[in-house]
Structure formats: structure tokens, C-alpha cells
Chain A
Amino acid sequence: MNWKVACAAGDVAVDSMKRFDVDGVSLMIANVGDGFRAYPPVCPHMEEYLENSGICAGGVLTCDRHLWQWDMKTGEPQGPAEKPLLMYETKEEGGEVLVFIEQELEYEFDDDDD
């Protein structure tokens, strides 16, 4: 099984996110109100650490570098953002947030598979 405990459910307030390291994999855990989401720790645009550049407001995540935005629940891009957020599967059990990590998710710098 690759379900790993990331944090306690109470560690991340609603409409915010925090960075955690889970078995050497760094990720952002976001509390979207009715559950949690887990994203890679960087912005898919220029790999800015979202722990520093991310702004959570009303279920929307904004990176303050170039104002790319995403729906925190779906990871879908909004406004000028061009790429969705990658997401790990998450679940909440016994007051803990678990993340399914098969392999570390990373963004392709320029979209091309090579």
C-alpha cells in the first residue's frame, strides 16, 4: 500500500494549505472545506514554491509571481494559468490526512515529452 499519513486533519485550516514532507516527497496539503487535496510543492509555471508564493482565497489558489490561478478542489486552471495542478489522491481517516504516493509528481518544464 502506498497510502501515507501526511498530517493531522486539524493541521491545515479551511481555505489554506501547508507544505509537508512525506517519506521524502514534498507536497502541499490544502484544506478545501469538505476534504483535502495534495499538490506538488511548486507552481506548474516556473516552479516557485507555493508555500511562499501561494495565496488561498475563496477556494482559489493564486501564485503571486505571475498571478496564475487554480480551483483548489479540481486543480483546474483559471485566468491566465495554462496548466492544471497535478494532484495526489487523498483521504481522511481517524483525524489524519492520507496521501496515495506511487511516485513523486513533477511538472514538465515546457510540456514536451522528451
Chain B
Amino acid sequence: MKISIEKKDQHYSFEAQPGEKLLYAGLKAGFPLPYECATGTCGTCRARVKEGDIEEGWPEAPGKKGLKEDRREFLLCQAYVKEDSDFNNDTCLLGVPSAIKQFREDDLTPVHHQGEVRNWERLNAEVLQFDVVLDSAIQFHAGQFFVIQAPGIEGFRAYSMVNYEHETNTLTFVLKNKKNGAFSKWAFAQANEDGETKEVSLFGPLGRATFHPDEANNLFLVAGGSGIAGLMSILRHADVSGHFDNYSATLLFGVRTVDDVFYLAELNEMVGRYPNQITVHIVFSDHQSLAGHDLDLGRLNPGFGFVHEQALATIEPNLTDTMAYLAGPPPMIDALIRPLILEAKLPANKIRYDKFG
């Protein structure tokens, strides 16, 4: 079915296959439609139907809060073409509240992929790392994510890549066990079966909380839990591109307890090579000291309390040559943005974030 979007004097149109999310269809066609999470939680891809009919998808999507039904508003990342539509003749005209524009010249066009899940590795009791091997090599920017759909499970979940290579057919992800998460339940069950490879559907790369060496910034990185994934990719790209010859990185990685840490060896190794450029703080929200805990942080610094509070205590005010990357639960991001602008006086265009619900 043909989907058209009118924006002032610009006109965009693309084809959407039956069942295909309209956001993915439009992005795949090369139109940089507005979005953030691409999975129904943030509401950034809000649009409205001006003519025609679409299926709105997931009724309880958290991002639908505040949508106006009388204006026929919906989320592009959830909506799809009705199964019974006359595919060749029907068209649908949509409106969106912000411009359809590139983020950078080197934006990558996301596409649908199939991939095989391999190399399950438990990083701790609640966190899994796994690889998805794609049918062909692709490029992505450090900090980007893919949406993944497991067999038999409704809907896509967003996961940031941990690895970075200029071109690769292997994407590495981390996953936190969520009690009510269908995908994590599936993944943890798979991880317990030896040697099985499973096929998943993916779409990406997505996301604009990206690192680009040519932007010439020091890095201020704040992660909550599995939000560390995309920041690991950023550190790795900075590493291989020689960024730490000229710029520094400060990472605050927030976890609850000593049992929740992971990637300590990888971070230690990086700090070992760049002791003057990279500073890492592991911030424990449920401890007041490490006394009595059997944990060696090596070259990493311990911190205690909420990671956003430690981050605000760590950042120097009035930085103009620093890009902040925030990745973690929405309350952590929300608690950081306002004081970063008001107190640390960080320019708003120097803050990039990934807010997954």
C-alpha cells in the first residue's frame, strides 16, 4: 500500500507491505522519519491519519499516552497496513509534527534482516550477552541499536550493539532478565539449551545517540544497567579510531549491587591502555561501601548512590567540548537532562540519549 506524507511543500511516499510497521517502511525507503525508541514507548514517532485507513497496532503502547483520537493520531512504530486493504489501489495520507530530515550526512538506511543467534554468554545471574550473525556484513554507528523479534513473540524489542567494527556481520547485544519480558524469557530459555542457533528478525541500524570521531569531543558517558551496551560500542569506536590520542572519556556505570556488575575486565583493559584519558566509575546504588564484598575493581573507581547523582557530582560545569551520552532507564535520563543543562551548563546539542522503557 502506498503511504504518503505531506510536509509543507515536501511530499514523501513509500510502499508498506501488509503487517510491516509504517516507521520501518518509511525509514527503509530512505525517509528519515522522526522516532526515538522505535518500539512504542517514547511517543516521538507520533503522526496522524489525514486520509485513508491504517491498523494502529499495540493498543497499550506507553508512547500512546496523550495521543488525540479526534485528530486520528497514532504511532508510526506500531501502526501497519490493514490486512484487508486493497494493496495496489489504497493509499493513506499522513501528517507528522516535525521535519523529515537527515541527522548527519553519513546516516545509514536501516533495512530488515534475518539473523542467527549464537554464543550465549551469561555475564552475571541476570545479564546475557549474545551475538546475532546476519546474512551479510553491514555498517552501523557506535551507539546505535537494532530492533529484534524472536520467533513466536509479538513485537520488536530494541537492543544497542556492544561491539563496534566499521563493517561486520556480527552484532553483539546484552539483555537483562526482565520478570515479565517475553523476549528475555525466551532468550534465557534459549541460553540454557546448548549449541542451538535460533533465527530472529531484525530491523536497523537505528538511533541517533551516536558517536562520530569527526565531532571532536571529550566523552561523558552515563549508563544505567544494560544501558552500558551502546556506551561500550562508543568506547570501542573511540579506541580504534585513535580518539583517545586527543580526547578523554569519563564513564559512570550504575548498577544495584556487586552481583550486578559486568564488563569489568573489558573496562579495566581499556583504562590500562589509556590511564590518563579514560576514567571509569562503577556506581552501586545499594551499597555504601565495598567493605565485606569480594570484588576487585582494579583500575575502576567505586561510587555509591544513584548514578545520576554521582554523574552530576563528577561533571565539571561549563564544558563546551564534551558530548554527554546517557543510556539507561527513562527516570535516570530524565533526572540528568535538566541539571546537565541548568547546573552543568552543558549545551542541549551536546546531550544524546537512548531512553528505553
B77 to chain A, nearest CB (A): 15
- Of B7, B47, B66, B348, which one neighbours A67 at CB under 8 angstroms? B348
Main SS of the interface on chain B?
Answer: mixed
Q: How many residues of B contact A (CB 8 A)?
A: 27
- A11 at interface, CB cutoff 8 A: no
Interface stretch, picked from B95-103, B131-139, B175-183, B266-274, is B95-103
B332 to chain A, nearest CB (A): 13
Separation of A62 and B347 alpha carbons in the complex (Å)? 10
Q: Are B71 and A62 in contact (CB under 8 A)?
A: no
Separation of A109 and B341 alpha carbons in the complex (Å)? 27
Residue of B96, B98, B334, B342 with most chain A CB atoms under a 10 A cut-off: B98
Known contacts being A45-B97, A82-B98, A110-B7, is A69 close to B348, with CB within 8 Å?
yes
B8: chain A residues at CB < 8 Å are 111-112
Residue of B50, B99, B341, B349 with most chain A CB atoms under a 10 A cut-off: B341
**17-71 of chain A: CB within 8 A of chain B:** 45-47, 55, 57, 62, 64, 66-67, 69
Q: Are B338 and A66 in contact (CB under 8 A)?
A: no
Separation of A28 and B341 alpha carbons in the complex (Å)? 20
- B48 at interface, CB cutoff 8 A: yes
- A94 at interface, CB cutoff 8 A: no
Supply 13 further A-B pairs (C-beta < 8 A) apart from A55-B337, A64-B338, A110-B96: A45-B97, A46-B97, A55-B341, A57-B341, A62-B348, A69-B348, A79-B349, A82-B99, A109-B48, A109-B73, A110-B7, A110-B48, A112-B6
Known contacts being A55-B342, A66-B44, A114-B50, is A109 close to B95, with CB within 8 Å?
yes
- B54 at interface, CB cutoff 8 A: no
Name A residues whose Cβ lies closer than 8 Å to a Cβ of B: 45-47, 55, 57, 62, 64, 66-67, 69, 79-80, 82, 109-112, 114
B338 to chain A, nearest CB (A): 6
A114: chain B residues at CB < 8 Å are 50
B345: chain A residues at CB < 8 Å are 57
B349: chain A residues at CB < 8 Å are 67, 79-80
B97: chain A residues at CB < 8 Å are 45-46, 109-111
- B46 at interface, CB cutoff 8 A: yes
A47: chain B residues at CB < 8 Å are 66
Known contacts being A64-B337, A67-B351, A79-B349, is A112 close to B342, with CB within 8 Å?
no
Separation of A80 and B349 alpha carbons in the complex (Å)? 8
Separation of A79 and B46 alpha carbons in the complex (Å)? 21
Q: Are A45 and B98 in contact (CB under 8 A)?
A: yes
Known contacts being A67-B351, A110-B96, is A62 close to B48, with CB within 8 Å?
no
A57: chain B residues at CB < 8 Å are 341-342, 345
Write the B76-93 contact mask toward A (1 if CB under 8 angstroms, else 0).
000000000000000000
B337: chain A residues at CB < 8 Å are 55, 64, 67
Closest 10 CB pairs of A and B: A110-B95, A67-B348, A64-B337, A79-B349, A62-B348, A82-B99, A110-B97, A57-B342, A55-B341, A109-B97
